[in-house]
Amino acid sequence: MYFVAAPNIDTIVSLAKRRGFVFPSSEVYGGLGSAWDYGPLGVELCNNVKQSWWRWLVYERDDIEGIDSSIILNRLVWKYSGHEATFNDSLVDCRKCKGRFRADKITDNKCPSCGASDWTEARPFNTMLQTKLGAVADDDPTALAYLRPETAQGIFINFLNVQTAMRRKLPFGIAQVGKSFRNEVTPGNFILRTREFEQMEMEYFVSPSAEHSKLVDYWVEQYLEWFGSLGITRENLYLYEVPGEELAHYSKRTVDIMYRYFPEREKPWEELMGIAWRTDFDLSTHSKNRLDVDGKRVNPDSTEDLSYFDEPTKQRFYPHVIEPAAGVNRTVLAVMMDAYSERTTDKGETRVILKLSPQLAPIKAAILPLAKNKPEIVGMAKAIKRSLQPLLRAVYDDTGGIGKLYARQDEIGTPFCITVDHQSLEDEAVTVRDRDTWEQERIKVTDLAEHLQKRLKPYTTPSLPEPI
Ligand code: ATP
């Protein structure tokens, strides 16, 4: 039994374009591979996802700080993090149609374009996007820089700054949300795999003697609850224990949370996020004092030591880190697929209802005048919009008949439609219509803000047991 309401990603692509969530990028020039632009409702949905994540981790917990580091870092960061040497995809070419693919994504040895099975040898392809800094000659190698392929490194190199400035003791975490870039060999599937995307990463620093594997489980549970609070059904999530041979060079254990992005396929799962025990690899590799087995400095370029002095044990060490790394765009796609539903009206028409969790809905309340040629009704509706705006995102809309306006708001996930009619002018009351039940209630204008706020249940926090 499938719990995804959207039958496939294409259904969301068409809704997203029709209703102003996501547009194909650069369309006037024929598009750009797999780049997408977020429209008026998409930018709100993305912001709400990021805000929910930030509030949950940085505000509601007491052990996590937020930062916003540069996208372009010193190239040496990527040398010592291992990305220059190992951030590769394995690439193969089809000899028949010249198509180029990621070797690990070819499942039946057949070319996805032409069906042939005549491949070149696999070879590594570094997926970091390059750029040049400053007004330099084209071939000047010292100007080479990268657009970050993960936000995590900006956190590691600021570990000591944050720890010292905020007087933190282990365990504590640093969270960051922002753009990352990867020169993906085969981008595609809408916003699932793009070359420019957004990540929400958190590095949770703990002692080398902590129970790291249990901490991975702890963060998996926390994220399952957070995804639940966003309206994602548990049955559409699946935990994948990454086998040893597939682990990244820095990881001792990784669990991927997969989402049922392809309900129509035999293999429906694709990664939504990963939770990795990154050991002390990153902090120690960026530190000037780390020595190798022969007593030589591992990093002769670093000017800092990112170790931590533990007062109770009087020991100095490199903290280990547990990293939950999630994608904003993949979360948005999962949220939209899960929220998608269809309902048939009494007249036999099919209506789409996007049952977004209220905290994520781009618009919380739409104020609709029943007659747009009646200045008193229009005036009252606009005044209600203005009075609600400081409390919640509200819009005024008179671009169609009431049936059309309701249908449009259902399709973009607005939890409440508020209708101002002729009677409103006399009884100072309006009709509040519920998106999911289509039931209507008459509410006094003076009680409206409180009524909506109660029903919107501003924010659901997952339970927060103490970290281990
Ligand atoms: P995949 O195996 O799907 O390429 P990954 O394991 O390389 O992903 P991570 O390095 O773990 O991904 O990145 C953390 C998260 O960032 C991913 O779980 C995903 O949500 C997001 N992400 C990574 N690459 C992309 C991309 N090209 N487009 C959109 N989101 C991405």
For the chain, percent of residues with pLDDT exceeding 90: 83
| Average pLDDT across the chain, whole number | 94
CB of 193 sitting under 6 A from ligand 1: yes
Q: Region 281-295: what's the mean pLDDT?
A: 93
| pLDDT of 464 strictly over 90 | no
Residue range 390-434, pLDDT digits in tens: 999 999 999 999 999 999 999 999 999 999 999 999 999 999 999
CA of 169 to the centre of ligand 1 (A): 30
DSSP 208: T
CA of 241 to the centre of ligand 1 (A): 16
Cα end-to-end span (Å), the chain: 36
Dist. CA 416–CA 333, nearest whole Å: 23
CA-nearest residue for atom 17, ligand 1, is 273
pLDDT at 138: 74
DSSP 413: T
CB of 330 sitting under 6 A from ligand 1: yes
CA of 271 to the centre of ligand 1 (A): 7
CB of 199 sitting under 6 A from ligand 1: yes
CA-nearest residue for atom 2, ligand 1, is 271
Look at residues 199, 182, 211 and name the one whose alpha carbon lies nearest to residue 277. Answer: 211
CA of 193 to the centre of ligand 1 (A): 7
CA of 347 to the centre of ligand 1 (A): 44
DSSP 318: P
Angle between helical axes of 9-18 and 328-339 (0-180°, round to 10): 90
Residue range 296-328, pLDDT digits in tens: 999 999 999 999 999 999 999 999 999 999 999
Q: Contact at 8 Å (CB) between 31 and 24? A: yes
Which residue in this structure is represented by tokens 């803000």? 449
CB of 182 sitting under 6 A from ligand 1: yes
pLDDT at 104: 83
Which ligand 1 atom sits nearest the alpha carbon of residue 193?
28
Q: Region 148-172: what's the mean pLDDT?
A: 98
The DSSP bridge pattern shows strands 22-24 and 36-38 to be: antiparallel
The DSSP bridge pattern shows strands 416-420 and 365-369 to be: parallel
Dist. CA 317–CA 287, nearest whole Å: 11
CA of 274 to the centre of ligand 1 (A): 8
| pLDDT of 136 strictly over 80 | no
Higher-pLDDT residue of 388, 108 = 388
CA of 57 to the centre of ligand 1 (A): 20
**265 CB contacts (<8 Å, ≥6 apart)?**
none
Q: 450, exposed or middle or buried, with CB in 10 Å at 0-12, 13-18, 19+?
A: exposed
Residue 160 host element (H or E): helix 159-165
**124 CB contacts (<8 Å, ≥6 apart)?**
88, 89, 90, 91
Does pTM surpass 0.85? Answer: yes
Q: Region 141-161: what's the mean pLDDT?
A: 95
pLDDT confidence tier of residue 142, bands split at 50, 70 and 90: confident
CA of 436 to the centre of ligand 1 (A): 33
CA-nearest residue for atom 14, ligand 1, is 325
**255 CB contacts (<8 Å, ≥6 apart)?**
216, 217, 220, 239, 240, 241, 242, 274, 275
Q: Region 57-83: what's the mean pLDDT?
A: 96
| pLDDT of 23 strictly over 90 | yes
| pLDDT of 448 strictly over 90 | yes
CA of 199 to the centre of ligand 1 (A): 8
Q: What is the dihedral of CA 248, 254, 257, 263, to 10 degrees?
A: 60
CA of 326 to the centre of ligand 1 (A): 8
Residue range 200-259, pLDDT digits in tens: 999 999 999 999 999 999 999 999 999 999 999 999 999 999 999 999 888 999 999 999
CB of 197 sitting under 6 A from ligand 1: yes
CA of 327 to the centre of ligand 1 (A): 7
CA-nearest residue for atom 21, ligand 1, is 327
Least confident among 62-76, 133-147, 197-211, 394-408: 133-147
CA-nearest residue for atom 10, ligand 1, is 150
Residue range 364-384, pLDDT digits in tens: 999 999 999 999 999 999 999
pLDDT at 459: 54
Least confident among 16-30, 54-68, 87-101, 154-168: 87-101
CB of 194 sitting under 6 A from ligand 1: yes
Residue from 147, 198, 330, 332 to probe ligand 1 pocket by mutation (most atoms less than 8 Å from CB): 330
CA of 189 to the centre of ligand 1 (A): 13
| pLDDT of 457 strictly over 80 | no
| pLDDT of 1 strictly over 70 | no
CA-nearest residue for atom 11, ligand 1, is 274
CA-nearest residue for atom 26, ligand 1, is 193
Residue 54 host element (H or E): helix 40-54
CA-nearest residue for atom 13, ligand 1, is 325
Residue from 197, 201, 261, 262 to probe ligand 1 pocket by mutation (most atoms less than 8 Å from CB): 197
CB of 168 sitting under 6 A from ligand 1: no
CB of 83 sitting under 6 A from ligand 1: no
